């Protein structure tokens, strides 16, 4: 699918995405790029949200990302790439429906990686992104 700034593609000869919230590749057609640092489950006051709850932490991280995008005149549909870091790869299935709500159509290119820990021990997930902004 194509919009003003990006084209999400799943070309022939490559397996289809295993989840519906991402695309195999995204071609940026126009607009500057916004690089979003890894977002975690910290509220605006710097307090951890959802201790021990990866679903609550995923929502907070994505809401933080949404706030950054909006501050730059963009929205979640402008995200072209995400990297998700989790402390347990089993979280992949636990957060699928949440990611589908934030990226329902023509999702960004995506990678998910299990890591040993994040900067704050209570954190279970971190999500960085690149967006094509107006």
Q: CA distances (Å), 22 to each of 11, 69, 119, in order?
A: 13, 18, 26
Dig out the tokens for 19 from the structure. 């989840």
Average pLDDT over residues 58-67: 98
- The pTM score is 0.87
pLDDT at residue number 31: 67
Q: Is the pLDDT of residue 4 over 70?
A: no
Task: Give the tens place of pLDDT for each residue, 14-32.
Answer: 888 888 888 888 888 766 9
Task: Give the tens place of pLDDT for each residue, 76-94.
Answer: 999 999 999 999 999 999 9
Q: Is the pLDDT of residue 1 over 50?
A: no
Distance CA 81, CA 111 (A): 8
Closest of 47, 45, 41, 27 to residue 95, by C-alpha: 41
Closest of 70, 84, 74 to residue 132, by C-alpha: 74
Strand-pairing partners, residue 111, are 83
pLDDT at residue number 30: 64
Phi, psi of 31 (to 5 degrees): 95, 150
pLDDT at residue number 90: 97
60 near 50, Cβ under 8 Å? yes
Task: Give the tens place of pLDDT for each residue, 111-126.
Answer: 999 999 999 999 999 9
- Domain annotation for the chain: domains and CATH numbers: 6-132 (3.30.1330.40)
């Amino acid at each position: 699918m194509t919009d003003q700034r990006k084209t999400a593609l799943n070309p022939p000869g490559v397996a289809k995405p295993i989840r519906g919230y991402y695309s195999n590749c995204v071609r940026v057609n126009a607009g500057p790029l916004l690089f979003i640092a890894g977002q975690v489950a910290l509220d605006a006051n710097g307090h951890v949200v959802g201790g021990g709850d990866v679903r609550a932490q995923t929502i907070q991280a994505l809401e933080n990302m949404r706030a950054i995008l909006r501050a730059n005149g963009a929205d979640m549909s402008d995200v072209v790439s995400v990297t998700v870091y989790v402390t347990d790869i089993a979280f992949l299935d636990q957060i699928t429906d949440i990611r589908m709500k934030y990226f329902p159509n023509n999702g960004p290119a995506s990678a998910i990686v299990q890591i040993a820990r994040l900067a704050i021990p209570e954190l279970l997930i971190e999500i960085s992104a690149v967006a094509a902004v107006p």
